Amino acid sequence: MLNTLPPSEWTRVAAAHLLNRAGFGGSPAEIDRFHALGHRGAIEQLLGAEEEADLFPFPEMEPLSAKMRELKMEALEGAELEERKKQERKLRNELGIDLRYWWLHRMRETPNSVREKATLFWHGHWATGLRKVNDPFFMHRQNETLRAHALGPFAPLAKEISRDPAMIIYLDLQSNSSKNPNENFAREVMELFTLGEGHYSERDIVEVARAFTGYRVDRDAGGFRFHPRQADAGSKTILGVTGAFSGDEAIDIVTAHPRCADFIAGKIWTFYAGTVPSERLREALGKEYRKSGMDTGTFLKTLFASREFFAPDVVRRQIKSPVQWLVQMCKVLEIPLPPPRIVHPLMANLGQVLFDPPNVKGWEGGRAWISSSTLLVRYNTAGTIVRGGGGAMPDIDRLIPPGQTPEATADELAWRLFQSPMPAALRERTISMLKENGASPAARRDLLHLLMSTPEFQLT
C-alpha cells in the first residue's frame, strides 16, 4: 500500500514537482497558485481540468489515399508517375510536420496538461510510427483515441487500440487471417502492452492472434472494418481460459490477469516518477491500480497523493525528455512555442520525433535522452531562444528584474529554472556575473543562457 504525503510536506518544491511531472511545469506564479490550493486541492484541479476542443483546431485532413486521388486524374506512368510520387511524399511530410506541431502547441497551451501528459505516456506505450503507417490522418486519429481514453479504464483503451487503423497497419494486423495467422500484434499485446515477458506461452500468442483475425482498415474512409470471412470463429484457449473468443474477449482475459495491473502500473510509475520500481513497490502499485478498476485517472490521483512520489530519489532526479524540455522551457520563460521551422529539426536532433518512435517499444527514456551531441543541441537552442531567435523574445526584465540584489536575483533564478537551490559554485558565479555587468540586458541574457546550459536544467 502507498503512503499518503503528510500536509507538512506539501511545500513549494513539492508543488513544483507535481506540476512538472503531472504536466509540463509552470512559471513561479503558477507554482505559487498551485501550492496555495493545498495538496488535495492541487490534485483535484489537475485531474478535473477541462478544455474547449476548439482551442486547438486541427488542420483539415483526410486519408492520404483519398487525397491522392485528387493528384491522379488518370493512369500515369514514367515521368508523370514519378512526379505524382514526389507530390505524395511532399504532402505526407507537410502533414506530418503540421501534426507534430499541433500536438506540441497543444501541450504548451492546454489548461488540461495532465491529459496531454497521459496522452504522451500512452503514445510511447502503444508505439506506432508514421514511417510505416505512412498516413498522418491515421496517426492523428490514434492520437485522439489515446487522448479520449488517457485517464480512463485500461481495457476499453486496449480494445479501441486493437481497432485503430494506425496500429493495425503498424503491426501487420491487416494480414492476419484464419488461413494465414500473423502473430506480430498478438505478441506485442502480450509482451509490451499488457503482461511483460515470462507471463504467457507461445501457444497463448497463437491463440490471441486467432482472436484478432479479420481486423482490417478501410483506407479510403479512414476507419476500421471487420472482415468476418477472414476471422477464426473456432474455440481458443488463452491463459487457461477456453471459448470461441473475439478480439475484445481476448483483451478482457489478458487484462484480467493479475500481472497486467502490476505491469501497467509499473510503467506508469517509471514514466512519471523516473525510476524503475522495486518489486515490492511494483506490487503495491499494481494493488492500487487493480483497486481503481485499472482506471488510470483514479490511479494517478493515488500516485500523486503518495509520499513515495515525493521521495528524495524521485524529486529533481528525472532527465527531461526532449518534449518535456522544450515545453517546460517555454513555460518557465513565459514564451510561446517556437515556430515549426525551428521545432521540427530540433526534435529530430534531440531524438524524440512525435508520431515516430524508434520502434514498437517506444522511446527508452532516462539517460538515453542525453549524449554529447544532444546536450550540445540543448545548450545551443537555449541560447538561441533566450536571445529571441525562437520567434519570441523572452522578457528579460521580468525574468531577471534589474535593481535587485545579486543574491536575491540568483535565488529567484534558481527557483524559476530549477525549483531548487543552485549548487554553491554556480550560485557564486551567478552572483559574480550580476555584480560585474548585471544591469546590461545582453549580459542578463548571457547569464540566463549559462544557467540553462547546466546539468541542473536538464532535470525535472
Q: Are 345 and 374 found together in one domain?
A: yes
- State whether residue 223 is helix, strand or coil: strand
307 has pLDDT over 90: yes
Note the pTM of the prediction, 2 decimals. Answer: 0.95
User: What integer pLDDT is reported at residue 321 of this predicted model?
Assistant: 98
pLDDT of 71 above 70: no
DSSP output for 102-117: HHHHHHHH-S-HHHHH
User: C-alpha grid cell for residue 195?
Assistant: 503482461
pLDDT for the residue numbered 59: 67
**d(Cα 284, Cα 278) in Å, to the nearest integer?**
10
Per the domain annotation, does 77 fall within a domain?
A: no
Q: Would residue 205 count as lying in a domain?
A: no
Mean pLDDT for 193-206 is 97
Is 90 exceeded by the pLDDT of residue 61?
Answer: no
89 burial (CB, 10 Å; 0-12 / 13-18 / 19+) is exposed
Q: Which of 310, 337, 370 is the last residue of a domain?
A: 310
- Does any domain span residue 121? no
Mean per-residue pLDDT for 22-31? 97
Residues 387 and 282 in one domain: no
Task: Give mean pLDDT, residues 105-132.
Answer: 97
For residue 242, the surrounding DSSP H or E stretch is strand 241-243
Rounded CA separation 269/217 (Å): 34
328 shares a domain with 438? yes
Considering the chain, what is the average pLDDT of its residues?
A: 94
Same domain, 305 and 343: no
Q: Does 388 map to a domain?
A: yes
326 and 306 assigned to the same domain: no
* Domain match, 356 and 440 both: yes
Q: Which residue has the cell 495467422?
A: 181
For the chain, the domain total comes to 2
339 shares its domain with 430 = yes
Indicate the burial class of 295 (C-beta count within 10 angstroms; 0-12, 13-18, 19 or more). Answer: middle
Confidence of residue 102 (pLDDT cuts 50, 70, 90): very high
- In a shared domain, residues 346 and 451: yes
Q: Residues 304, 412: one domain? A: no
Q: Provide the domain limits for residue 406.
A: 322-458
**CA distances in angstroms from 149 to 135, 152, 188, 363, listed in the order given:** 22, 5, 20, 21
Q: What is the pLDDT of residue 436?
A: 92
423 vs 89: which has the higher pLDDT:
423
What whole-number percentage of the chain has pLDDT above 70?
A: 96
pLDDT of residue 73: 45
Convert the pLDDT of each residue in 379-436 to its tens digit. Answer: 999 999 999 998 899 999 999 999 899 999 999 999 999 999 999 999 999 999 999 9
Average pLDDT over residues 204-211: 98
Has residue 275 been placed in a domain? Answer: yes
Question: Regarding predicted confidence, which is higher, 61 or 117?
Answer: 117
Of 67-76, 350-359, 444-453, the one with minimum mean pLDDT is 67-76
Q: State the chain's maximal CA–CA distance in angstroms.
A: 80
- Asked if residue 132 is part of any domain, the answer here is no
Q: Which helix (H) or strand (E) holds 225?
A: strand 223-226
pLDDT at 157 over 80: yes
Instruction: Assess whether 273 and 397 both reside in one domain.
Output: no
Residue 198 lies in a domain: no
pLDDT at residue 366 greater than cutoff 50:
yes
Does residue 190 form part of some domain? no
Q: Are residues 350 and 271 in the same domain?
A: no
Is 10 in a helix, a strand, or coil?
Answer: coil
Same domain, 300 and 413: no
